[in-house]
Chain A
Amino acid sequence: MKRINYTLFIVIALFLISCGEGNLNGKDAKKGTKAVWDITEDPGIGPIDKVVLKELDPALAEKGKEVFKTYCSACHKIKKKYIGPAVIGITKNRTPEWIMNMIMNPDGMMANNENAKKHFAEYAAPMANQNMTKDQARSILEYFRLRDSEKK
């Protein structure tokens, strides 16, 4: 009986291959807060060529929190894998250009950017294009910077 269940589990796991390691590794990986963001200098593909970062702007981060809450929180949590990856650590490992391009051009990124494709392969759901403006995306980036600056 146990063996049947185990086999069944494997079959289902294979079937849901796009769900990736979250499902296979079960609760530990899912609940873990280890950064999913490997370090890369990739700027991504999309409308953003260059972002010059200055000192953290708390007011912009606060605005970004509201935008994130409205448009992103249904799929992303800060420190936990949800429908999409946890966002904690993203600003330490990914370029600001890549982050904003991912927010503004998810379709193009998932189709043509190797790093984005990797995430898409790992999660069941494609990231929705919500027609984010440059200002909205920039504010979200600032909110991510704020969260990444917090002590653990």
Chain B
Amino acid sequence: MKRILKSTIAIIVLSMVMVACGPTTSKKGGSKGVLSGSQAERAYVAPGEHDEYYGFISGGFSGQLAVYGLPSGRLFRVIPVFSQDPEKGYGYSEETIPMLMTSHGFVPWGDSHHPDISQTNGELDGRWIFINENNTPRVARISLETFETEEIMEIPNSAGNHSSAFVTENSEYVVAGTRFGVPTPQKDIPISEYKSNFKGSLTFLKIDPENGLMNIAFQIRMPGFNFDLAHPGRGDSHGWFFFSSYNTEEASTLLEVNASQNDKDFIAAINWKKIEEYVAQGVGTMEPARYAHNVWDDHTHTATTTMEKEVLIINPEDVPGAIYFLPTPKSPHGCDVDPTGEYIIGSGKLAATITVHSFSKMLKAIEDKAFDGETYSIPIINYEAVNYGSLEQPGLGPLHTEFDTRGNGYTTFFISSEVVKWNIKDLVVIDRKPTFYSVGHLMIPGGNSRKPFDKYLVAMNKITKDRYLPTGPEACQSAQLYDISGEKMELLLDFPTIGEPHYAAGCPADLLASKSVKIFKLEDNTHPYATKSEADSKVVRKGNEVHIYMTMIRSHFSPDNIEGVKVGDKVFFHVTNLEQDFDVPHGISMLGANTSELLTMPGRTETFVWEPKEIGVWPFYCTDFCSALHQEMQGYVRVSPKGSKIPISYTIDEEVPGEDL
């Protein structure tokens, strides 16, 4: 009872602080003249000019990843990842439906959180971007040549995959974690038996350096703490991975109180190189599991789902010397490693300080066995022995830290809505700037690598309140761009984002722009229903299935008059875009089809299914404005009654395609 009372008071106090901070900063920020003319010019990219950086900002509950230009904040593209996107036919076309398959069946929505660009020698290499899904634990890999999702791996024995999808400094691994402990493997037990029975799996996915393909190398069966965020070691600490955790209380109800009891929770330090050695020696148990592995192929232009059947489980007691806990105050959220790899920054959500651990001290403490006991067979390193120091009273509600090349950290404060610049070695605050409002993550391009590009910082806000024209009860969320090239940070730009701008990754534009794919070569298209010339376009009946091998080119479909389709048929439109020119997609939609349009890139084949329910003559048309005669790009399918004797026929301009050759 006393405990509850105490907690309640704490919550009330916290709420008052939040209430007090919100509107006050709001008034201040709303006043004009914050930006001088020269500041506006620095975020201005003239019409026709290109941005200096790519920014990849996740969409949170939208499930997607949006591509912006920085410093302009202009939105270029939304890459569909974990959610269907009818605009592009993603998750609707027969070829992309397998991308969203899981062990629970087809899941049309996901919650995308942390994008991370692949690295070589600790620097961004611009090959792929990885991103995690929280709700149905998954990790996706996106090609930075096509800007399309190429692979999605479901994570078994996990829930709330939040401490993900961060990569090691040579892209050896991308990790997945477990924020919501679950019985592992799943079983039917009382929720009250959380302690000991619920586990928090940490999963290491090996990345094939040639093609990026992921496979689960091993899964560490950690205690049921809530593993929240993670970052890899780099430089000297390469080979280690650090995961923050809260709820070391192992509560299963009213977590906002019951998971906030312990003075300190843990950052888990995982020596994955050592675990690799153990695995090579045969340590670990292969356990049955069931998880979907979805892979896209740019030659067949088709995704396939493989249901994987087992996973290698590592128990902490089997890998002595590979896993340690670093005590870290008050439910640490952000867990960030500076560019040198020496400092591990833990941001206790409820702490009044930022905790800085030292990697070299950690190694020494391990050598000296400076432990304060252990939990679940995992040694707990003495706090003083690992701690470098703390930044005292920097603000309220520290969350995440990114870095520049000059030894400074930049930390966001959710409750006091600000970004604070501080010197890591000296543990002193250098500057603070308000955000509008309730900032979560921040991003400096390469800010979690050995080589940050420290000109701009993007802060991502959860709440915008009065910052933009109102659009009903749902306000947009936003990103804010700061110039961090000088001693003081300068706010340059505000821009709204898709969904919740949860986290971002960024890189110099020239790392990606020149290798961006323009077309898919028709000659490389091995889709089983590809139609590589108009003369080959045709319609084939197979029982009640009708397969239309259709081509698209400016500005007609072939064939475009089709008869002999009957009510009850299942009609497959396999459309190939014959264009081999950049920026000439064609779309197609069919009146009465219970699916989205297709938006087909040059050289690609895609399929949608139409099951006509009514007789008549029904039109289809190109949905992408492809040319001056775009509207003319249309055709008809005649649907006859079930049992009709009308044979399949197909023409364009009253001739069967190719008959004159």
Contacts and interface: CB of A to CB of B under 8 A. Distances in A.
B118 interface: no
A80 interface: yes
29 contacts: A65-B661, A68-B661, A69-B533, A69-B535, A69-B658, A69-B661, A70-B532, A70-B533, A71-B533, A73-B533, A73-B535, A73-B657, A73-B658, A74-B533, A74-B534, A74-B556, A74-B578, A75-B553, A77-B653, A77-B660, A78-B661, A83-B556, A124-B628, A124-B629, A125-B555, A125-B627, A125-B629, A128-B581, A130-B580
A74 B550 CA distance: 12
A1 B368 CA distance: 101
B655 interface: yes
A92 interface: no
Contacts of A124: 628-629
A69 B536 contact: yes
A83 B555 CA distance: 9
A32 to B, nearest CB: 14
A82 interface: yes
Interface string A40-71: 00000000000000000000000001001111
A80 B580 CA distance: 25
Interface centre among A73, A77, A83 (most CB of B within 10 A): A73
Interface residues of B, number: 24
Contacts of A74: 533-534, 551, 553, 556, 558, 578
A108 B631 CA distance: 29
Nearest to B532: A70
Interface in B528-573: 532-536, 551, 553-556, 558
Interface string A71-97: 101110111101100000000000000
Contacts of A75: 553
B578 A82 contact: no
Nearest to B627: A125
A149 B657 CA distance: 23
A65 B533 CA distance: 12
Contact of A80 (B532, B555, B629, B660): B660
Interface of A: 65, 68-71, 73-75, 77-80, 82-83, 124-125, 128, 130
Nearest to A128: B581
A70 B551 CA distance: 11
Which 5 A-B residue pairings sit nearest by Cβ, starting from the closest?
Answer: A74-B534, A73-B535, A74-B553, A69-B535, A78-B660
Contacts of A77: 653, 655, 660
Contacts of A68: 661
Interface centre among B522, B532, B554, B555 (most CB of A within 10 A): B554
B658 A125 contact: no
Contacts of B551: 74
B295 to A, nearest CB: 29
B534 A125 contact: no
Interface in B425-473: none
B553 A79 contact: no
Interface string B632-661: 000000000000000000000101011011
A75 B579 CA distance: 12
Nearest to B536: A69
A69 B537 CA distance: 11
Contacts of A128: 581
Given A83-B556, A125-B554, A130-B580, A73 B661 contact: yes
Contacts of B661: 65, 68-69, 73, 78
Contacts of A80: 653, 655, 660
A74 B661 CA distance: 12
Contacts of B628: 124
Given A69-B533, A69-B658, 19 more contacts: A68-B661, A69-B535, A69-B536, A69-B661, A70-B522, A71-B533, A73-B657, A73-B661, A74-B558, A74-B578, A75-B553, A77-B653, A77-B655, A78-B661, A79-B660, A80-B655, A80-B660, A83-B556, A128-B581
Nearest to B629: A124
Contacts of B536: 69
Interface in B347-362: none
Nearest to B652: A82
